[in-house]
């Protein structure tokens, strides 16, 4: 299902210049998803059946420990089945035979961010907007649950069936016949009609992108396919230009294998030891040279210190040098002790044709 972007033709009379709802980048697009996001969604749908098929291998209990045993003794209990795998295998919903007055519809909630410009001073603010939608089963009827029922992840098979039912209603098709390999059939059907529903804006592609990404991340975590490398920050090594003598930081992303003894930059080949003061020296240098990092989360005090840092991103267009505006998005999680924020570096508002981000 992999596609080549070079062969994706875009009708210039129907292109939209607003940011893509899925990725937020300003790319020419038709409908409510850019070509890059469509390729990403198609690849995720293509990988989904294989990931679901591999869940059964992760559910098998481990063997009992080796040792001498007799007919009346046991050396140890077998490893219980993994609950996170069971929740993804399903079923995620079932008919509850109780008084119907105790059941309520299940509502799906998700959040999107919008940039709102103030009518008073023209400043831009990022606003988090929460949306709600009633979950429906393959038959189109609302899913009911008890008020004290546990709400978890929707299994991939049921999520695919819900998406197929929603898309078929939007396209005006009749209900599909059930297939033996329903997960694979639903994923292939969604992949075939992805461009159609995106061009006609029949479904919320931002919600689809967020839900499918969350489901894929959960499957990768359960299957153990998440990479072991950890993002540390951007390389703080200062590189000197031969012609001008100006020093600029390297800026290459540093990904570290927890089992490696040396951290090496892939661009400038700078190295730091993971033992002794190597970790501390690298952390101090990263915080000093790169005070604003889009991948990091900041507390209120850290955000205030990063904005006033001498290394804060500045506009380099026509020698402007003014600090670039930074928008902070609330990314606080339940486990955090205080509010946490993630920065977004905005273009220079002085009026340049293009503002280059220093970071």
In the chain, what percentage of residues exceed pLDDT 90? 10
The structure tokens listed for 133 are: 């939608």
Residue 219 to residue 110: CA distance in whole angstroms? 20
pLDDT tens per residue, range 229-248 = 788 999 999 988 888 888 88
Identify the burial level of 184 via C-beta atoms within 10 angstroms of its C-beta, where 0-12 means exposed, 13-18 middle and 19 or more buried: middle
What's the Cα-to-Cα distance from 269 to each of 230, 241, 253, 256, 275, rounded to whole Å?
A: 18, 16, 12, 13, 18
pLDDT higher than 90, residue 67: no
pLDDT tens per residue, range 160-185 = 988 998 898 888 887 655 555 688 88
pLDDT tens per residue, range 27-48 = 667 788 888 888 889 999 999 9
3-state secondary structure of 43: helix
- Residue 232 belongs to what H/E stretch? strand 230-234
CA dihedral 310, 316, 318, 321 (to 10 degrees): -20
All structural domains of the chain with their residue ranges: 5-61+80-90+151-223, 228-290, 294-359
Sign of CA dihedral 261, 263, 269, 271: negative
pLDDT tens per residue, range 130-152 = 888 888 888 888 888 766 544 55
Peptide bond into 226 cis (omega under 30): no
pLDDT value of residue 178: 58
pLDDT value of residue 60: 60
Sign of CA dihedral 130, 131, 136, 142: positive
Q: Which residue has the higher pLDDT, 330 or 103?
A: 330
Q: Do residues 125 and 115 lie in contact, with contact meaning Cβ atoms separated by under 8 Å?
A: yes
């Amino acid at each position: 299902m992999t596609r080549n972007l070079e062969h994706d033709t875009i009708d210039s009379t129907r292109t939209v210049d607003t940011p893509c709802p899925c990725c937020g980048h300003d790319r020419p697009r038709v409908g409510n998803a850019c070509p890059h996001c469509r390729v990403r969604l198609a690849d995720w749908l293509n990988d989904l059946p294989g990931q679901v098929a591999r869940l059964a291998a992760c559910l098998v209990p481990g063997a009992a420990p080796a040792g001498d045993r007799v007919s009346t003794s046991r050396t140890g209990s077998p490893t219980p089945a993994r609950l996170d795998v069971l929740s993804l295998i399903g079923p995620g919903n079932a008919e509850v035979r109780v008084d119907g007055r105790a059941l309520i519809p299940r509502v799906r909630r998700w959040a999107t961010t919008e940039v709102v410009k103030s009518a008073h001073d023209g400043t831009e603010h990022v606003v988090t907007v929460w949306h709600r939608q009633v979950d429906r089963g393959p038959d189109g009827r609302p899913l009911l649950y008890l008020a004290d029922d546990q709400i978890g992840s929707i299994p991939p098979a049921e999520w695919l069936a819900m998406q197929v039912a929603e898309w078929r209603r939007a396209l005006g098709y009749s209900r599909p016949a059930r297939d033996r390999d329903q997960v694979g059939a639903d994923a292939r059907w969604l992949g075939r009609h992805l461009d159609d529903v995106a061009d006609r804006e029949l479904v919320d592609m931002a919600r689809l992108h967020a839900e499918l990404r969350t489901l894929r991340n959960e499957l990768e975590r359960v299957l153990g396919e998440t990479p072991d490398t950890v993002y540390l920050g951007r390389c703080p090594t200062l590189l000197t230009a031969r012609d001008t003598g100006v020093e600029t930081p390297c800026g290459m992303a540093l990904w570290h294998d927890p089992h490696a003894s040396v951290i090496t930059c892939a661009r400038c080949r700078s190295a730091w030891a993971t033992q002794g003061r190597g970790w501390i020296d690298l952390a101090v240098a990263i915080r000093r040279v790169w005070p604003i990092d889009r991948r990091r989360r900041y507390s209120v005090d850290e955000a205030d210190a990063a904005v006033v840092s001498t290394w804060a991103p500045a506009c380099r267009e026509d020698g402007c040098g003014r600090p670039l505006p930074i928008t902070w998005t609330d990314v606080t999680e339940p486990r955090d002790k205080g509010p946490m924020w993630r920065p977004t570096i905005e273009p220079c508002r002085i009026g340049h044709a293009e503002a280059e981000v220093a970071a």
